[in-house]
């Protein structure tokens, strides 16, 4: 049976910090598609018992950014693929911190340099929960994929801006996504 809490407790934090993968779920305010994205690399940080952030990397879509800008609703999920079964969910309200925002550099300093960084999603957490995870399979972590970092390390800032304008300006449901710098 699952247990709910009002904040991230120490055992939860230790569990989260050991994970190589997490999922982010968002949805638009009205209609549209629910989105769930897997996230890798060392891209998640716990800022306090009720606040987290993750480094949002440039990819083929901008659903999370669009949904968070639309209504803020966000859920994170972490699964144990090794050791004791466990699933941790963090529920909250997010906001997008772009490269243009003064707060970006301070938050980004806690992450390894990532040439594909497009924003940082900060979330205030109002509910956490854990559940058994008995049906989650055992899986071994082999290594991080490097292709995303390799790709963006070969591109210029202008290349990234052009990509954002072409691929990330809107969600698949037409909500505003990434706005390239003017």
For the chain, 182 residues long, give each residue's pLDDT as a single digit of tens: 589 999 999 999 999 999 999 999 999 999 999 999 999 999 999 999 999 999 999 999 999 999 999 999 999 999 999 999 999 999 999 999 998 899 999 999 999 999 999 999 999 999 999 999 999 999 999 999 999 999 999 999 999 999 999 999 999 999 999 987 66
* Planar angle of CA 165, 112, 180, nearest 5 degrees: 15
Alpha helices in 19-118 (DSSP H): 63-71, 103-108
pLDDT at 182: 64
What are the DSSP calls for 137-171, one per residue? PP--------HHHHHHHTS-HHHHHHHIIIIISB-
pLDDT tens figures, 77-91: 999 999 999 999 999
Residue with the two structure tokens 């247990």: 3
pLDDT at 106: 96
Contacts of 84 (CB under 8 A, 6+ apart): none
pLDDT at 2: 81
What are the CA-CA distances from residue 72 to residues 16, 30, 163 (Å)? 22, 13, 24
Inter-residue contact 71 to 29 (CB < 8 Å):
yes
Q: Where are the domains of the chain?
A: 3-133+145-168
Neighbours of 79 (CB within 10 A): 17
Nearest one of 54, 45, 51, 49 to 24, comparing CA atoms: 54
Inter-residue contact 119 to 97 (CB < 8 Å):
yes
Q: Which CATH superfamily is domain 3-133+145-168 in?
A: Electron Transport, Fmn-binding Protein; Chain A (2.30.110.10)
Q: How far apart are the first and last CA of the chain?
A: 51
User: What is the DSSP pairing of strand 22-26 with strand 3-5?
Assistant: unpaired
């Amino acid at each position: 049976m699952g247990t709910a809490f009002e904040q991230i407790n120490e055992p939860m934090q230790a569990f989260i910090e050991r994970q190589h993968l997490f999922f982010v779920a968002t949805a638009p305010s009205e209609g549209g598609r629910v989105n769930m994205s897997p996230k890798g690399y060392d891209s998640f940080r716990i800022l306090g018992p009720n606040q987290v952030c993750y480094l949002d990397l440039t990819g083929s879509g901008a659903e999370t950014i669009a949904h968070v800008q639309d209504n803020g609703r966000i859920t994170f999920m972490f699964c144990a693929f090794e050791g004791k079964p466990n699933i941790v969910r963090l529920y909250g309200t997010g906001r997008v911190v772009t490269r243009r925002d003064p707060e970006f550099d301070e938050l980004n300093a806690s992450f390894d340099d990532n040439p594909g960084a497009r924003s940082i999603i900060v979330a205030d957490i109002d509910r956490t929960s854990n559940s058994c995870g008995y049906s989650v399979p055992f899986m071994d972590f082999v290594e991080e994929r490097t292709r995303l970092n390799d790709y963006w390390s070969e591109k210029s800032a202008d290349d990234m801006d052009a990509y954002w304008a072409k691929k990330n300006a809107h969600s698949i449901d037409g909500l505003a996504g990434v706005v390239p710098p003017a």
